[in-house]
Amino acid sequence: MPVNFVHNDEIWKDHVHHETFSQLRVWPDRWGYLVREYESLNLILEGKEPLPPMPPTKFEDRGKIKFPPIVQSHIPTRPKDFPRSTAQLIGWRVKSDNVVYDMNKKCNTKTKGKSGMLRVFNWPREAAA
């Protein structure tokens, strides 16, 4: 499949242009207080009077926000047969009725792991004995 490098570059330029100019409009509203704070600290270091503090921003009244009701059926709960000790934690989910697990299934003896300790450290096989 042929690739049009000029077209791809034009798409890239358009994305960069759009991202740059969209952020230039929004940045002073979001992060402009940092510049003002830096200028104020710089004036203090020079021995001049710092800039007056910014007026506090007005937020919506949080009392107007209505949250959805909490439904008890959506709250996750622990199963009733949760293990009482750490030794009982091993395999406790397998014992439940909704989990199907074949205890008679044997592992393939010919399968090998992709990497082992001997391969990672380049040790000879005799080192494992």
Supply the pLDDT for residue 129. Answer: 67
Distance CA 49, CA 39 (A): 11
Supply the pLDDT for residue 75. Answer: 62
Give mean pLDDT, residues 52-64.
Answer: 72
Look at 65 and 37; give whichever has higher pLDDT: 37
Supply the pLDDT for residue 13. Answer: 93
Please say whether the beta carbons of 54 and 33 come within 8 A: yes
Q: Which amino acid belongs to residue 111? A: T
Percent residues over pLDDT 90 in the chain: 14
Least confident among 1-10, 32-41, 54-63: 54-63
CA distances from 123 to 114, 115, 129 (A): 16, 12, 12
What pLDDT, in 10s, does the model give residues 88-116? 777 666 665 555 555 555 555 555 666 77
Give mean pLDDT, residues 36-57.
Answer: 86
Q: How distant is the alpha carbon of residue 93 from its chain centre?
A: 28
Supply the pLDDT for residue 48. Answer: 92
Q: Which amino acid belongs to residue 50? A: P
Supply the pLDDT for residue 56. Answer: 73
Give mean pLDDT, residues 1-6.
Answer: 79
Q: Which amino acid belongs to residue 61? A: D
Domain locations in the chain? 1-55
